[in-house]
Structure 1
């Protein structure tokens, strides 16, 4: 490897990358042993992980690693991400290709993997390029999200070696207790009261009493929405689905429910704006459901259960940030904003179950 870009010239981002050790490791990696690193920049990569764009003489590389302060399963989660992405190779699921994986945390302080960059953007807020000016491109965004969800659901998790990715037994029956216990666990935080989240009892009882009859088990991304999907700027297509840290086994219809929960329509409860703008031209929720069920042969009458479950699950998860704000670990403004969205989700869930 060339030494023209000495490690002292590259930012270590508060010791998130040990360049000397990384270069030695790269020199032993067949796919990347001849690369010459020129520069590095830190990208937006979510709350749990750090993502870096490394420019070399031959190609750009994305490095993804956990945060500086590792949690008990941080390394396990990042390696699982890489494993899932490798397993998806050759499938119809748009995803980044993994170039190399490192399970030795002594190299840069955590396990990590390297992958090919994707063209396009992943964001909420104002849309760029033709997405901002052409309603047909915005319509295609919904269609592409549904196709990606259906393609992931079509993957045979057993044949690609992911049968151990979760616990499929009684998955549907276990969901309410699983996420309700998560919510109630925050009660140990001084100043936080789980009772502040509305409709948890009513929605939980409805989910328990109305278990779906149309059930499948497969891969579930777990957070399929605009900020976690890279859309191409060259054509209205998905370049790749990102942020696979929540992937597990479950009923793939939950990914559709997640998309529906992120959507915006007239008649929704107050307190939420479209995730991206402008919003005119986007498919309706009904059209999203019809497309998915046509692609996968699922029963559309069962979808409200998964829609309500997605709202319930995400609300319970988000309350963790609100509880942390009560303990002073997260800015109060952030906590209040997250709690407002969790409240909207439960109001939407209540609207679904009351329909």
Structure 2
């Protein structure tokens, strides 16, 4: 499917803006490799058989303030010279007339993206699975060690507390969705506002916003080769990233499902408490205090997943996802309620 990235206009643009990409008389080959509810990623194959990756916003209805391609581009460009592994940036296009939307091109990074339970079995059971969790935490610690001012992102700071801003933003956004019953979402929001007010003032660091194995490329040894999907990145509270990772890290026998279908449900992956201990060790944080505060961040992760799910449900309800997706829409609606209720439970409310 190339409607979202027409090959001929893209090829003409590459010839002008990215001379390092070999193009010939025929258009480059365009293949979608991920996406659907978030920004879309495409594999671009050039005239010499080289591979590149292109990111563009989703087609159809999207919620306000989402899918800012220039923001993604800024983060990967700023982080490329740091220890944080990102796909090297190539070129950015702000002109929506080229393919119908803004987009950017980056180098293609070979690696396995472990985005669900089935994918978790692709790594061989043994050291690689253990490494995948521990190295993911090491990379997260490296990200949180980056000084936003030193890499040119300091102007993205916003006044006030990060969690307070996030709670306001997502609460406003979820009330613009098509979800008919937001009572559980609202109750979890009120509890989070109360609990987050008692937290110590956070550091101001780069927060990825969706840090989990499903947004990382790992090698066969389990080591992270690249961090993808920077659309939710901000200058904010680093513990929000850790809470998001922990909420997504499902383990066999969990009484409450993870926020996503988790590769860590396969045998051989480390448990959540080891991830938290590793983060404390790598960042120098006080481990008991980190554990004591983390329930708020895990609850926030679950609540925010409910808000994100509301946006996805709205696309189903608006018919953007197709006329035959009523069952999927109902499933999305149930997931919104489930995550909001799980957030309340995590807070003891």
Match of 1:303 among 276, 283, 294: 294
2:39 paired residue among 43, 49, 73: 49
Aligned mates of 1:205, 1:83 — CA distance in 2? 30
2:339 counterpart (324, 340, 345): 345
Please give the root-mean-square deviation of Cα atoms over the aligned residues, in Å.
3.0
After TM superposition, the score normalised by the length of structure 1 is: 0.83
Instruction: Provide the rounded CA distance (Å) in 2 between the counterparts of 1:310 and 1:129.
Output: 25
Relative to structure 2, which stretch is displaced further, 317-326 or 259-268? 317-326
Q: Name the SS for the 1:139 alignment partner.
A: helix
Give how far 1:180 is off: 2.6
Distance 2:248 2:117 in 1: 13
CA contact (8 A) 1:268 1:348 kept: no
Q: Give the structure 2 partner of residue 181 of structure 1.
A: 172
CA contact (8 A) 1:54 1:62 kept: yes
Distance 1:271 1:253 in 2: 18
Change (3 A) 1:55 1:165: same
- Alpha-carbon distance in 1 for matches of 2:172, 2:67: 23
Find the aligned partners of 1:38 and 1:269 in 2 and give their Cα distance: 45
- The corresponding residue for 2:329 is 335
Q: Is the 8 A contact 2:87 2:227 kept in 1?
A: yes
Query: 1:296: Cα distance to partner?
Result: 1.2
Q: CA deviation at 1:240?
A: 0.7
1:205-262, Cα deviation, whole Å (9 max, x unpaired): 543453x1151111111111222111123x2111111111111111011111001111
Partner of 1:161 in structure 2? 152
Query: Are the counterparts in 1 of residues 185 and 303 from structure 2 also a CA contact under 8 Å?
Result: no
CA distance in 2, matches of 1:71, 1:270: 27
| 1:127 partner SS | helix
Structure 2 residue runs of 5 or longer lacking an equivalent are none
Displacement of 1:273 in angstroms is: 8.3
TM-score, length-normalised on structure 2?
0.84
Alignment of 1:1-355 (within 5 A): 13-14=2-3, 16-19=5-8, 21-29=9-17, 31-32=19-20, 34-36=22-24, 39-56=29-46, 57=48, 59-69=50-60, 77-122=68-113, 123-127=115-119, 131=123, 133-186=124-177, 189=178, 192-195=180-183, 197=185, 199-200=187-188, 203-210=191-198, 212-213=199-200, 215-233=202-220, 235-265=221-251, 266-269=253-256, 275-276=262-263, 279-299=266-286, 300=290, 301-326=292-317, 328-330=319-321, 331-354=325-348
Task: Quickly say closer, same or farther: Cα 1:69–1:58, change in 2 above 3 A.
Answer: same
Distance 2:173 2:89 in 1: 32
CA gap of 1:68–1:208, structure 2 versus 1, over 3 A, is closer
Distance between the aligned counterparts of 2:64 and 2:167, measured in 1?
Answer: 23
- Show structure 1 runs of 5+ residues with no match: 1-10
Count of residues paired in the alignment: 337
After superposition, the C-alpha distances for 1:286-345 in whole angstroms (9 at most, x for unaligned) are: 111111111112341322221221112221221233345455555332233233333333
In structure 2, how many angstroms separate the alpha carbons of the residues matched to 1:333 and 1:169? Answer: 41
- Secondary structure of the structure 1 residue equivalent to 2:155: coil
Change (3 A) 1:24 1:73: farther
Q: Deviations over 1:4-36 (max 9, x none)?
A: xxxxxxx7x1263251x4333323336426444
Compared with structure 1, are the counterparts of its residues 273 and 173 closer, same or farther at alpha carbon in structure 2 (3 Å cutoff)? closer
- For the residue of structure 1 that corresponds to 2:17, the secondary structure is coil
Task: Give how far 1:54 is off.
Answer: 2.0
Contact 1:269–1:347 (CA under 8 A) maintained in structure 2: no
What is the alpha-carbon distance in structure 2 between the residues aligned to residue 327 and residue 22 of structure 1? 30
Larger radius of gyration: 1
**Higher alpha-carbon deviation: 144-153 or 339-348:** 339-348
Query: For the structure 1 residues 272 and 157, does the alpha-carbon distance in structure 2 shift closer, same or farther, using more than 3 Å as the test?
Result: closer
Is the 8 Å Cα contact of residues 272 and 341 (structure 1) preserved in structure 2?
Answer: no
